[in-house]
Amino acid sequence: MSRVGKKPIPLPKGVKINIGERLEVEGPKGKLSVPIPPGIRFEQKNNHLEALRDDDKVAALHGLTRALAANAVQGVSTGFTRELDIVGTGYRADVKGKVATFTLGYSHPIEFILPGGVDMRVDKQTHLVLTGYDRQTVGHVASQIRALRPPDPYKNKGIRYTGEVLRKKAGKTGAGAK
């Protein structure tokens, strides 16, 4: 049996759930909906939500559905955060409303429009903090921003996740290189 699927999901105060064809989760940060596949059902006991499966044919979806529901509950109650660092001389970011402007060594600044539900804060022009209530959206926006200038293994420049370890590669060596 799924170890993830068996774990009950604690429901914090202020989070309301509605179980139907979809699991509707509403909290102080927003409202999310999780699809419930056939063969999986949710039961609310005390302040916990449990994912139960009818038979072993839906075992693969048991843990997935429970994890999506847990992410929705955490998202509407506390939210999710993703941090990025910009490394490189002259590289910086600025945000005004829902438009983020990046200067990343290209001939022009890059404007990135943030989707709804995701907020960005810039600390010291090189540290970005993305926050939102939908884990998938926050992670997707972080990967799109990182793709604007991926980390370079030779110069260690670019946009990287905070705490991401890069292995610096050695450049060309030998008699022919000058």
Amino acid sitting at position 19: I
Give the pTM: 0.83
Strand pairing report for 80-87 and 158-161: antiparallel
- Measuring CA to CA, which residue among 122, 30, 23 is closest to residue 79? 30
| Rounded Cα–Cα distance for residues 58 and 53 (Å) | 7
Order of strands across the sheet with 9-10?
A: 9-10, 48-53, 40-45
Q: How confident is the model at residue 141 (pLDDT cuts 50, 70, 90)?
A: very high
- For the chain, give every residue range classified as CATH 3.90.930.12: 3-77, 80-161
Say which CATH topology domain 80-161 has: Outer Surface Protein A; domain 3 (3.90.930)
Q: For the domain covering 3-77, report its CATH number.
A: 3.90.930.12
Q: Taking a C-beta distance cutoff of 8 angstroms, is the pair 47, 58 a contact?
A: no
| Rounded Cα–Cα distance for residues 155 and 41 (Å) | 51
C-alpha neighbours within 13 Å on the C-beta side of residue 35: 4
Q: How confident is the model at residue 174 (pLDDT cuts 50, 70, 90)?
A: low
Tens of pLDDT, residue by residue over 41-76, are 888 888 888 888 888 888 888 888 889 999 999 898
Tens of pLDDT, residue by residue over 78-133, are 889 999 999 888 899 999 989 999 998 889 999 999 998 899 999 888 899 999 99
